[in-house]
């Protein structure tokens, strides 16, 4: 059974009246030393407390049948002092260190930044998850990169899904050559300075001729051009030219 510390008097005040100058030892082997304040009293230690030899700090459940504990690692290379935050965190937050021992509550999620100014090469993170949380993700330093300041996206291969099993309501492209001839290509500079002498089309102009390859903003204004879809019109335009050439040559 546990050994209780008292004044040595029956019905005495217990540990509250005991002056301990050095070490408190139990009288026999393998006995606990119990400090049990009366009523709502609290056991208070004024000063630092050390648990030696990798001793653990235990928290027992209501009937003292099981416990959870904190324990120091077997080897510690240098002293570490953690300073707890002064307030409780919000639901879902976790404790984080500033690498100097100060702990604080941080959200259990990543913060997003609209990064448009960096000239460094960024590597997009790729994961197989579609919802929830992930413990690991992948990236590629040679296959998929993005430079925010220039808006440049680079990849070894862009492979767009195009199986017939994914499509329906097929309609031939008519007058492809006329549509292509109504487009005007330009060389221009980007207003933000990110690109000089860039070659391309103007989304507003293309929207008047081939609107189904133009993306719109939230207000329906032309914003971007799907240049890969433009290739379908180019193919049909070349076929029209080939037919005209054959007719001029008298080739059936």
pLDDT on residue 10: 45
Q: Is the pLDDT of residue 11 over 50?
A: no
Burial-class residue 89 by CB neighbours within 10 Å (0-12, 13-18, 19+): middle
What is the rounded distance in angstroms from the CA atom of residue 120 to the CA atom of residue 238? 41
Question: Tens of pLDDT along 54-80?
Answer: 999 999 999 999 999 999 999 999 999
Question: Tens of pLDDT along 180-206?
Answer: 999 999 999 999 888 899 999 999 999
Work out the end-to-end distance of the chain between its first and last CA atoms, rounded to an integer number of angstroms. 110
- This model's pTM is above 0.75: no
Q: Which string of b and e fits 161-193 if b means at least 16 CB within 10 Å? A: eeeeeeeeeeeeeeebbebbeeeeeeeeeeeee
Which residue from 101, 102, 105 is spatially nearest to 87, judged by alpha carbons? Answer: 105
**Per-residue tokens: 84:** 């707890």
How many Cβ atoms are within 10 Å of 206's Cβ, its own excluded? 23
Question: Tens of pLDDT along 140-175?
Answer: 888 889 988 888 889 989 899 999 999 999 999 999
């Amino acid at each position: 059974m546990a050994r209780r510390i008292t004044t040595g008097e029956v019905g005495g005040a217990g540990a509250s009246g005991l002056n301990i100058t050095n070490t408190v030892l139990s009288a026999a082997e393998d006995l606990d030393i119990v400090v049990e304040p009366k009523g709502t009293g609290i056991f208070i230690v004024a000063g630092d407390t050390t648990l030696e030899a990798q001793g653990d700090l235990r928290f027992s459940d209501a009937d003292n049948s099981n416990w959870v504990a904190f324990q120091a690692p077997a080897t510690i290379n240098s002293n570490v002092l953690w300073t707890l935050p002064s307030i409780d965190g919000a639901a879902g937050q976790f404790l984080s260190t500033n690498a100097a021992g100060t702990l604080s509550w941080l959200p259990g999620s990543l913060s997003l930044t609209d990064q448009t100014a960096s000239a460094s090469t960024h590597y997009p993170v790729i994961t197989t998850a579609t919802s929830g949380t992930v413990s690991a993700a992948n990236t590629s330093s040679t296959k998929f990169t993005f430079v925010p300041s220039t808006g440049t996206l680079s990849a070894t291969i862009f492979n767009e899904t195009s199986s017939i099993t994914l499509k329906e309501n097929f309609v031939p492209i008519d007058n492809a050559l006329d549509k292509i001839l109504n487009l005007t290509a330009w060389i221009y500079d980007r207003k933000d300075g990110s690109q000089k002498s860039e070659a391309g089309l103007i989304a507003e102009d293309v929207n008047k001729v081939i609107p189904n390859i133009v993306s719109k903003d939230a207000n329906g204004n032309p914003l971007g051009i799907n240049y890969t879809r433009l290739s379908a019109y180019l193919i049909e335009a070349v076929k029209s030219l080939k037919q005209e050439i054959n007719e001029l040559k008298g080739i059936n």
